[in-house]
Structure 1
């Protein structure tokens, strides 16, 4: 690799300029390609936290991605990033997520062990550079959406292959060539600033909006946390184990301050009325703005006013703000994703995906969509063929996974309604 990052606006497959009468930037074209992709449309019925389609108010992967993109775009613009690059990263960051949210991700990771496992971020790279239909390379293979290097780099939350003992990674072994092209000249495993901005926007949206959904749905109330020290301790233990490097004791101090914040007061007495919804939205907006502004201010304090792009700076998130964000994520974890009956629902979802994968392994290429059937026929060995089957299943929406299970396995599909981890 070179000592400097390679051309940010380069595409793996060169393309001729389009004569449309309007000269768009390469990153505006990237954004349009993601918005018009089939993978992006499928996010409309993929689980965020609550199973997609169970409540018209609640967020799906699609609405979550739009919100992440909006937060990232504004934050990136304030730091001097190209706004379209961070927008693309926010829109595309969850394209690789399978049916049933992180629960489905865990199920496919186990099922895909013989071909290197499964991870939503690595799958996103695969969708963008191989599986989506947009550009054909000179050798006849698919180049996916053929996004620019800068956009693909910004989407990479975990720019490294799978490592022993680590759950998160960003590339499968058979996508190593395109990954090396994306990372040409990048400093080791360091993420570009745009990827860091997108990642923090994702955390902010996840933490704030999932609590909003939980309050509105009646799953979350702050009263136990306000009155019960043992409940506060249990929440902090959950957060220390899942989302934060802080100790449960240190998080307890942050939680007390957070619960006393007047900005969160409307959450305790939510009754679903119009006035209550207005107050809830004011809380959501206020906390989002606070988290974003704190990161922008801390980054500019360390690196100057910018503009900052790619590897010119790193995003700085103050410790207290990061801990507050983790605690809000923990509230959704404890009271929504782990509410009564969750284990049975999650097990049924995992069983469904396992049975669909097993049925397709037996029947393929019959039963696969045409794109995946062709990839299966071209695969050189059993591991590669399993990867194609996993690609197919990962592409399904939640309702499609139920339909495919009924068609391939027969009988009535196991019920899957409820939150997904």
Structure 2
């Protein structure tokens, strides 16, 4: 790393605590000790948080992404704490009820530029968290850049973006030195692949445990395999279905997959399922490291992460399994529509009753906001910060007050 990588948006006095910690180790501690990180324990990953003790939440998912990122980054020569910070922080901006809540808040926030979990993450890190006044956690440039999966503002037709217009000053500062407008640093690419690996493999593990995904059905039913591949070609991959069919055949023929079929919840079945997830995670990571390895430490903009085609296709297929057999069926349930209604009504109610019903920190920002657009953004920030149970409680309190 070079000196500018360790700079902070708001300069801080040097600290000599006797521990000899690097700036990036301090960044990691700041994220781990943040209120936003603690709240991830009660935010939905795929299944509603608290619905099953086995299933992952945003917190456990973030810890898994950080672990995968750290090991993969270290093997490539990245600073391990920078990629660890990126993994820990990457979902801090996600609202209650996971992607379902993100859709609802994007609609509710249309008048102030919409809502996107990655852009909200930057806002949490650089503004909303209470560590340094006016700078959020005040992380280093390298750590903020590593946490930026989509380093660009919203444009027409662009579903994913990483910064709201009123956060552009700090965004432009953290991107100083980037060789291209949309070029992500290597640490962000490592975190992004770790995120893909973690949620594709682990969502399938959770889906098998919950009885939503039956691997034995895929093994036995050629028509269902073809339909899955066609589905994935439309949603998660730019490859034709026949290419995905080949990748799926290799995936299902893996020695670690067959023992996980016929899952019955027994200790033996749980062990077989865990061996499958461990084997797939290790293989996806090792393939990317081997394809990227330059024979020397690489970091920041020295290189791009290379993921071989087969592993990328298989990761897309796992995502497709979770989408086809878990997320779509559950999205049709009444509770999922109710989640969107709760968040939409919360924004509407708080816009009418603010600042009285806002938390003190958001109330103060609401009072000093320049106009209605800025006040709407404060309300959206408040709602996005809530956990799943808190959103339900707030909605009940505001609709019965």
Normalising by the residue count of structure 2, what TM-score does the alignment of the two structures yield? 0.97
Runs of 4+ in 1 over 6 A off after TM superposition: none
Q: How does 1:160-171 map to 2 (within 5 A)?
A: 160-171=152-163
d(CA) in 2 for partners of 1:102 and 1:238? 19
Q: Distance in 1 between matches of 2:18 and 2:252?
A: 54
Secondary structure of 1:262 counterpart: coil
Distance 1:223 1:151 in 2: 43
Matched, 1:114 2:111: yes
Which residue is 2:360 aligned to?
Answer: 370
1:308 aligns with 2:316: no
Q: Which moved more, 1:255-264 or 1:389-398?
A: 255-264
Match of residue 215 from structure 1: 208
Query: How many residues matched?
Result: 400
Q: Deviations over 1:103-151 (max 9, x none)?
A: 1001111111100000000000000000000012xxxxx2100000000
Shift in Å at residue 292 of structure 1?
A: 0.2
Mapped partners of 2:233, 2:296: distance in 1: 34
- The CA RMSD over aligned residues, in Å, is 1.4
1:293 aligns with 2:293: no
CA distance in 1, matches of 2:342, 2:103: 13
- How far apart, CA to CA, are the structure 1 residues paired with 2:8 and 2:105? 31
Q: Is the 8 A contact 1:135 1:146 kept in 2?
A: yes
CA contact (8 A) 2:42 2:50 kept: yes
Equivalent residues in 2 for 1:160-239, closer than 5 Å? 160-188=152-180, 189-239=182-232
Instruction: Map 1:237-276 onto structure 2 (within 5 A).
Output: 237-276=230-269
Instruction: Find the aligned partners of 1:388 and 1:274 in 2 and give their Cα distance.
Output: 48
Contact 1:5-1:184 at 8 Å conserved across structures: no
1:6, 1:185 within 8 Å by CA — same for their partners in 2?
A: no
Structure-2 residue corresponding to 1:400: 390
Tell me the residue number matched to 1:133: 130
- How far did 1:71 drift? 0.3
Q: 1:267 & 1:357 partners in 2: Cα distance?
A: 44
Q: Report deviation, 1:279.
A: 1.3
Specify whether residues 319 and 158 from structure 1 end up closer, same or farther in structure 2 by C-alpha distance, changes over 3 A only: same
Which of 202-211 and 269-278 deviates more? Answer: 269-278
Q: How far has the Cα of 1:409 moved from its partner?
A: 1.6
8 Å CA contact 1:5–1:186 kept in 2: the answer is no
Q: How does 1:29-108 map to 2 (within 5 A)?
A: 29-108=26-105
What secondary structure does 2:170 align onto? helix
Q: Which moved more, 1:228-237 or 1:109-118?
A: 228-237
Q: What residue in structure 2 maps to residue 150 of structure 1?
A: 142
Give distance in 2, aligned partners of 1:272 and 1:164: 47
Asked whether the 8 Å contact 2:330–2:336 carries over to 1, the reply is no
Q: Give the TM-score normalised by structure 1.
A: 0.93
CA distance in 1, matches of 2:384, 2:131: 19
For the pair 1:334 / 2:331, whether they are aligned, the reply is no
Give the deviation of 1:20 after TM superposition: 1.6
